[in-house]
Amino acid sequence: MSNRGFLYHAYALGVSGRLHDKFVEPQAASALPPAGGFSSAKWSNYQLDRFFTYDEAATSTNGADHGDSHRVVATAEVQKFNLGDVMKADKIRVELVANHTKDTEDHPRFFLDPRETLFEELIIADEKIT
């Protein structure tokens, strides 16, 4: 790594957005401190005018030094997601990983972990998506 030291950076957000004229405030947000380590957040039983609901949103961020490389992971998971009975899922989970090596410090390698990124029981417009 360079002489300037490594600053970790990761942010995970469970739910946020805008539905027509209604705002869904950021929920279950976690941010990784520049020194690395771990951060997490959780939010439960959300309902926006019975149009948008979920049972739980949880996020975590973590970063660790592995000698010549640094690994940063941001994870978000939402349980019992329901958007106007048009899109429903028992679970939505996304895990984004960034690997920084001494050769790629300024251009880390990002990827979604396929073992940890998933939809369970996803239904869109009454069609089960597999």
pLDDT band for position 2 (50/70/90)? very low
Backbone phi and psi for residue 87, each to the nearest 5 degrees, phi listed first? -125, 125
**Tens-place pLDDT, residues 41-52:** 999 999 988 789
pTM: predicted TM-score of the whole model, two decimal places: 0.85
Alpha-helical regions (H) of the chain = none
pLDDT computed for residue 94 by the predictor:
96
Percentage of residues of the chain with pLDDT beyond 90: 59
Cα dihedral 52, 56, 57, 63 in deg (nearest 10): -170
**Tens-place pLDDT, residues 56-89:** 999 999 998 877 888 899 999 999 999 999 999 9
**Tens-place pLDDT, residues 94-117:** 999 988 887 766 677 889 989 999
**Which residue would you say has higher pLDDT here, 38 or 34?**
38
Sign, CA dihedral 60-25-87-55, equals: positive
Nearest to 8 by CA among 71, 59, 94: 71
**Ranges of each domain in the chain:** 11-129
pLDDT band for position 20 (50/70/90)? confident
pLDDT at 120 over 80: yes
